[in-house]
């Protein structure tokens, strides 16, 4: 799974890693955004919290991930992006992973001052969700859709998301860092270089596992 602050590049790296290994990417942010768009009960419950930059209720998030991880497509591994975000979620994930294989955790580390600027420049495709930068023009390179500002990338919400990250999610680095399958990569470089470092990190973590029976992999 991928750890990192908002704007660290988790989603971008998770997509690429999942594609490379042919495994599903499970992003709780994407699941929630789809639910908001479809106006399901989950979406209606989560919308106000997401718009304010807060965290959706732990038990709800744990139930979503628990349900997702019983599907057969995760058998050969998966990339988890955006979950866990609290120690309560991390504890639940350890329990959910019992029998599913080892959890590899990659933290994408980016200095705080770089994150605000990145998030201000971030744009997403309104059609396919591809993440890009305001510097890349007005249309998506993948599908031609219009690029838009994510509704929670406005300055005040970004500030709140970074505060929530520091308070609730950053402690997960301590939670995981003593594990032999924990790796940190330098997120303050080009997406291509982060991707290369991340692949090496995952390969190193896989080697560190003595059983050789790993079914879960990490992206960023």
**Binding of residue 219 to ligand AMP (CB under 6 A):** no
Stretch of residues binding ligand AMP (CB under 6 A), selected from 28-36, 124-132, 134-142, 202-210: 28-36
CA distance 64 to 46: 12
From first CA to last CA, the distance across the chain in angstroms is 7
Stretch of residues binding ligand AMP (CB under 6 A), selected from 26-34, 68-76, 125-133, 136-144: 26-34
**Binding of residue 50 to ligand AMP (CB under 6 A):** yes
Among 4, 9, 77, 82, the residue binding ligand AMP under the rule CB under 6 A is: 82
To which residue do tokens 């023009």 refer? 137
Clarify whether 150 is annotated catalytic: yes
**Alpha-carbon distance values, 16 to 6, 46, 131, 200, 219 (Å):** 18, 27, 12, 14, 8
For 173, the token pair is 């680095």
Q: Which is nearer to ligand AMP, 57 or 203 (CB)?
A: 57
**Alpha-carbon distance values, 120 to 20, 141, 190, 208 (Å):** 29, 20, 17, 38
Among 83, 175, 176, 182, the residue binding ligand AMP under the rule CB under 6 A is: 83
Residues that bind ligand AMP (CB under 6 A): 6, 28-29, 32, 49-50, 53-56, 61, 82-83, 85, 89, 152, 161
Q: Which residues are catalytic?
A: 10, 85, 122, 150, 161
């Amino acid at each position: 799974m991928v750890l990192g602050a908002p704007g660290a590049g988790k989603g971008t790296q998770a997509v690429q890693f999942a594609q490379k290994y042919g495994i599903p990417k499970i992003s709780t942010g994407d699941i929630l955004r789809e639910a908001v768009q479809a106006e399901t009960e989950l979406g209606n419950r989560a919308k106000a919290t997401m718009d304010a930059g807060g965290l959706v209720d732990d038990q709800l998030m744990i139930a979503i991930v628990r349900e997702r991880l019983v599907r057969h497509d995760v058998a050969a591994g998966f990339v988890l992006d955006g979950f866990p975000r609290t120690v309560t979620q991390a504890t639940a994930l350890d329990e959910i992973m019992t029998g599913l294989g080892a959890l590899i955790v990659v933290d994408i580390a980016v200095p705080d001052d770089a994150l605000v600027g990145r998030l201000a420049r971030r744009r997403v495709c309104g059609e396919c969700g591809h993440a890009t930068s305001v510097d890349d023009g007005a249309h998506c390179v993948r599908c031609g859709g219009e690029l838009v500002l994510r509704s929670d990338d406005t300055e005040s919400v970004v500030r709140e998301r970074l505060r929530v990250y520091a308070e609730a999610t950053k402690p997960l680095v301590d939670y995981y860092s003593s594990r032999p399958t924990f790796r940190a990569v330098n997120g303050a470089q080009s997406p291509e270089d982060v991707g290369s470092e991340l692949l090496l990190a995952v390969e190193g973590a896989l080697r560190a596992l003595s059983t050789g029976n790993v079914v879960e992999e990490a992206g960023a």
